[in-house]
Amino acid sequence: MPGSDYSGKHKHHGLLVIALTDDKGRLLWVSAARPGRTSEITACRHDRLTVRLRAAGLGAIADLGFVGLDDSGPDADPAVITGYEAARNRPLTGGQKLSNKAPAAVRAPVEHGFAHLKNWRVLGKVRTDPKWATTLVRALLVLTNREVSR
Condensed to tens digits (0 to 9), the pLDDT of residues 57-104 reads: 888 888 777 777 776 665 567 778 788 888 889 999 999 888 888 877
- Find the domain containing 57 and state its range: 15-130
What number is the average pLDDT over the span 7-29?
A: 75
pLDDT the model gives residue 8: 53
> pTM for this one?
0.69
What number is the average pLDDT over the span 121-132?
A: 75
Looking at per-residue confidence, does 77 or 133 come out higher?
133
- H or E stretch covering 111: helix 94-118
Q: How many CB atoms lie under 10 A from the CB of residue 75?
A: 5
Q: Let me know if residue 146 belongs to a domain.
A: no
CA–centroid distance for 145 within its chain: 17
Q: Let me know if residue 136 belongs to a domain.
A: no
How many domains are there within the chain?
Answer: 1
Q: Let me know if residue 139 belongs to a domain.
A: no
* C-alpha span between 41 and 46 (Å, rounded): 9
